[in-house]
Amino acid sequence: MINRSYPFKYSLLIFSFSLILCVSVSADPQQTPQLSLSQIESWHAPNDNELLVKSKGNHYRATFSTDCVGLSKAYTIAFITEKNHYLDASSAVRLPDGSRCNFNEFKLSCGADC
């Protein structure tokens, strides 16, 4: 007699392992951080190529592909998001003079303890 459930059980095992692997990879907070605009508490630009953003519980660091001239001297900036009001690597800032600076990178720099 042929056991027809064997291939099904084997396929189910591979599928379960793949699903666990996908969940493990996507759960990495360093991979694609997003920050809701409503969670931003403060920001600081130590230079024209780096923006530090403090939220409720975390700190983030955005860098730009080229210098964002005037960022370190700006008192106000506007955050520009592609969709859903979350900062991520595709976001940008607009300076008071109207210039736009696109993020090159957006990463979680440390948690609430820094």
State residue 73's pLDDT score: 96
Q: What is the DSSP letter of 76?
A: -
State residue 114's pLDDT score: 63
State residue 33's pLDDT score: 86
State residue 57's pLDDT score: 84
CA distance linking residue 39 with residue 42, whole number of Å: 9
CA distance linking residue 87 with residue 98, whole number of Å: 19
State residue 112's pLDDT score: 57
User: Domain spans of the chain?
Assistant: 36-110
How buried is 48 (Cβ within 10 angstroms: 0-12 exposed, 13-18 middle, 19+ buried)?
middle
Let me know: does 65 contact 90? Beta carbons within 8 Å: no
State residue 109's pLDDT score: 87
pTM (whole model) above 0.75: no
Residue ranges, the chain, pLDDT below 50: 1-29
Closest to 47 measured CA to CA, from 66, 26, 21, 28: 66
